[in-house]
Each structure stands twice: as structure tokens, then as C-alpha cells.
Structure 1
């Protein structure tokens, strides 16, 4: 299994067998995205060691990893560097070796980086309903318009991530006496696949059914399929979601924009943080608060005071 291999065959003799055994034991325990990140991050570390003359190991010394943090901190964001260290630690745990990220040297290097650069990450531009409605008004009833309209509306209603949207099958969208729902089988915060149901507005369900019927899709089919003779896959990818959102709504938006926009619209409509958290499948209130902080500022005591004073 190649996902946990690092570049240049830099695993010392003897440890390669231990890594192979771990790879076999962990088969199916991690998502493909997690495995790709581990492979990429450890490769970056291995390449940096080769270029700078540091001993890669493993085990990698805390001093080497701390120097890596300092070097990467000049060109990468703190969150990215922290992910690199988590991947390096994962590799060491796979080999039953002490993790360098637990050392004071590495912890202090990360702390220096966070203090120097701050921890705030860029946020996707919010794609709120008025912008989506303008895009819908420009769409017709040809195949690509029906698909893109259904995708935009489902993304907004379900607060879904791009990875969740592309995994939806036709049969996951259902309507009963209580209304329409979409079953999200697995998400970033639900790696074991317990799944959950998300609300769908009646108009969204109508758009989805118009797309399904026109495209002649069956229940077992992917809901969002690529169109055109050049299509190679049976369902669109996460990059396709971003491309569709940009093409329909503007270059400022990405696949995550409907998630942010729906959270802000829900906050503006009076929904509680807990209700928004449930709607979007967040495990904590932190990201909901982050997405809606500008709206919260407008409802703060300072905003109330300015209104009372007529300022």
C-alpha cells in the first residue's frame, strides 16, 4: 500500500517492513484525503531534509523538525505547518517511534510561528441567497443549467462540503409527508459513516427532480454527473463544484462559499448557533461563530447603543 510511503525510499532498512505492516493494519481506517495529506506532507519534509543536509531519520530529531517548522513558517501559514507536523508524527507512530511533535523544541517552534503570524485562516467568500437567486434567474432548462441549478440549491440548503455533494446519489434525495431531505452518508467530521439527514426546500427538490428526469438518472446513479464527451468519471469532482460556483456566481467564490453563506443567512434569519451547527454537521460551535462573527458584531451591545443614540 503506497499511501504511507515517503519519497526517495528514505525509510531505513528494517523500518520499511514495520511501515508495510502498519499500512496493512490501517487499511480502510483513514479517508483517502487523509492518506494523501500524510504522503504529501512527509514527502515535503523528506525533500527539505535532503536539500538542507538534515538527517531525515526516522526517527527525526526534535531539533531537525523544529528547524523545519522555522523554515516552513517563512513561506507557509501556521495551520499548514501544523498539519505537516501532524503527518510527520503519524509516520513516527506508524513505526512505533517517539513523535517529534511532542517535544518542547517543536512545540515552542510552533508557538513562535503562531505568535509571529497569528492563527487566523482565510475564509471562503460567503455565497448568500440573493446572489444565488440572481444566478438561478439567468439559467434556462437545458441539461447543464438544470444540473448547476440543482447543485447550487442543494449545496445551500444542506450546508454541505464539496466532498459531501459529489458523493450524493439520486436515491439519497427523498421526499415524504414531512418534506424533502438529503442523506449525507459520510463527512469530514463523520469518518465512520454514521451519516445524517439534511433539510431540502421544496423548490430545491423540484429543481433536483427536473435535473434527474431530464438526465434520465436512476436511484443508484450519482446525482451530479459530468456532461460532455470529454467526461471521464461517473460523477463530478470537488474541483468541478468550485468551477461551477465561479462560473455561475463569480470568480470570488469557491465550493465552500455556500456553506459560509448559508450559515450567515441562517444567523441573519434568527437561527441559534446550535441550530446552524446541526444544519451544517459541525461538531462544535467554533466554526459557526467564525462564519457569523461579522453578523454577531452588528448585533453587539455597541451596535445596540449606536442605534439607541441615533449614530
Structure 2
């Protein structure tokens, strides 16, 4: 396995050789989920450097230190969780060691203290007023009742939100959903890339007929030329035939961007977390939802809704693909608050 082209252009042959040797002899033996995580984390850094007009890593200690400092500042302004930011920095540190480049994450006292303070502030920020609100079944129905999609962008976003709720999908799972993963006859979705599925066999999740209908409408809209009104030719790279379901759209939101369905794995162009985050924020505005819903709101809200409607822990585990009952149990406790003794007392007192 090689680094993506965009990630190798900044390195000389010496650095590429060191990295590629590790990738060929070590990286390919790691679990596939670990491979995907490392590649995703490094590619996010490459994209940041390109957008910020930074050179990326090189032999200069000061350059690497400055790149990481600016990256940390951006990460701490993002909606990413504390542990996600820590994981991304850990991946960058590992890459620097593999490439035998100066590693200020380990060697710079200044940078280590800067990261520590920035992440500490970020942790307080994340656990205060910016906690994600669960998207329960009631909020989902409000979205579906309010939004009448008249553009491909709105149809894609609505179908994605509903699929994430039905199948309790994480953001990194929904971006990998392929058309062929949907079993319409059995109302099921095959999730092949869950972080809880180390075996790589996949997990089946239930999806409702209404969500399948939304997906069909999204595909149908994507496969029609908005200018001529005619069906797109089967060879049109903007047509949805197979492969990744939720794709990037043109600036006006009326057509999919060209996409080569023959590409797969790490070469395929997928939506990033920031794109999924913006989709949830757009949906909230359109549905007049003031709560802070984020890409994780669907998974949490679906679990809470299951608990509120009497689902057992094994049923919740199966629905969300959890290996243990710990997280479903936590959401069950969250749902039980409104039915507890204090809730009953205050309702009787009309408070």
C-alpha cells in the first residue's frame, strides 16, 4: 500500500522510501480498521496544509512545530471530540517517527504544553454547552414533516439523516455506504466498516421503508439532468449506478460531481466529517430546530428512542452494533430519567 499521491509530493525520495517500506512491510499487516484510521487522519492533515498554504512536514523542526500548532488550533475550533483530536495527533506523531523527520510533538516542550492546554480547554468546551442533543424519533418526524426537498442537495441530506437514524450510523460509517449494501427486500443495510467490527464481516442494521423511498428519490433525482430533464447516460460520471451512495454535489446543489465508480478503498473520494457536520446544521436550520444536533445525534437519539419505547439491551445492541451493553445501558438510563420517581412527583405537582 502506498501513500496517496497528494501526500507524497512534498517528500523527497528518501522520505517516500522510508514511509513506503513501512507501509509495505508493516502497515499492510495491521487490522483494516487501523489502516483506515491512520490513512484518514493523515489525509485530513494533508488537506489542512493545502488549505492553509502550509508546506507540510519536512526536515525543519521549526516548520513541523508551526504546522502542528496551527493544526491543533483548527482542530480545537472544530466540533471534533477530545479523544478524536488526541488520536489524530498520535497518528501524526507516528508518521513523523516512521518518516524519520523531526517530531516536535515529542521533542518540543513548548508544543507539548501548548497542545496540553489547548486540549484541556477543548475538553471543557466539549462537555459544556456544546454537547450534542439526541435526535429522537420526535425530532426526526419534525424534520420529515417540515422539509419538502426541491433540490438534489436537500434530498441527499434528508435521506442521509434518516438513514443515520434508522441504522444508528456514525459519520465515518455513512460516508462508506454503497448502493449495493442496501437490501430493499429485507429492509436491511450491510455496514461493512463499523469500528466495532474488527473481523470485517459486516453488520446488518434495519432501515425503514420510508428511508428506502427517500434514497430511491435521491438516486432518481441524481440520475436526471436538471437542465434537459432527460435521464443521464449510464456512462455519465455524474450518474449513480453503484458504489458510494452519498456523494459531493456541485456548488448549486443540482448535480453530483463527476465520480469514478471503478475507484475503491482509500482512493475513492468520500465526504469528510466536516461535510457531514454541515449537512446536519443545514437540516436543523431548514426544520427550525434550535437544539445543537450533530452527526452523532442520530445514533444517540435512536438509542434513546429505542429505550423509551421499551427495547431490551440485546435489542439495542443489535440495532447499533455495540459489542457490549455498556453504551446501550447508558442511553437506557438517559431515557429513564423522564420516567423516574422525581419526574412522576413533579408532574403530579404540575411543576
- Report the TM-score when normalising by structure 2: 0.58
Per the alignment, do residues 86 and 267 of structure 1 end up closer, same or farther by CA in structure 2, a change over 3 Å counting?
Answer: same
Conserved? CA contact 1:124–1:260, under 8 Å: no
2:184 aligned with 1:150: no
For residues 7-39 of structure 1, give each alpha carbon's deviation from its aligned partner in whole angstroms, at most 9, with x where no partner exists. x98xxxx99976542222214844343234368
1:253/1:231 CA distance change after superposition, 3 Å:
farther
Q: Give, in whole Å, the separation in 1 of the partners of 2:82 and 2:244.
A: 37
Aligned to 1:140: 148
Deviations 1:51-86 (A, max 9, x none): 9x9xxxxxxxxxxxxxxxxxx9xx978736753785
Contact 2:305–2:335 (8 Å) recurs in 1 = no
Residue 255 (structure 1) aligned to one of 280, 285, 295: 295
* 8 A contact 1:129–1:265 mirrored in 2: yes
CA RMSD of aligned residues (A): 5.1
Unaligned segments of structure 2, at least 5 residues:
50-56, 66-71, 100-112, 114-118, 224-238, 261-268, 287-291
The count of corresponding residues between Structure 1 and Structure 2 is: 288
1:231 to 227, 238, 257: 257
Moved more, 118-127 or 243-252: 118-127
Q: Deviations over 1:120-165 (max 9, x none)?
A: 9574321222222222223335342433332222111011112222
Please report how far the alpha carbon of residue 231 of structure 1 lies from its aligned counterpart in structure 2 after TM superposition.
3.4
Partner of 2:175: 166
Say yes or no: does 1:205 pair with 2:212.
yes
Instruction: Compute the displacement of 1:265 (Å).
Output: 0.8
Q: Distance in 2 between matches of 1:221 and 1:2?
A: 22
Larger Rg: 1
CA distance 1:305–1:168, shift in 2 (3 Å):
same
User: Which of 327, 332, 341 is 1:287 aligned to?
Assistant: 327
Is the deviation greater in 250-259 or in 213-222?
A: 213-222
Deviation, structure 1 residue 297? 3.4
Partner Cα distance (2:246, 2:82) in 1: 35
By how many angstroms is 1:199 displaced? 0.5
Change (3 A) 1:181 1:15: closer
Kindly tell me: are residues 117 and 255 of structure 1, through their superposed partners in 2, closer, same or farther at Cα, counting changes over 3 Å?
A: closer
Query: For structure 1, which runs of at least 5 residues remain unmatched after alignment?
Result: 54-71, 96-108
Q: CA deviation at 1:50?
A: 4.9
Q: Is the 8 A contact 1:153 1:204 kept in 2?
A: yes
Q: Equivalents in 1 of 2:44, 2:82: separation in Å? A: 17
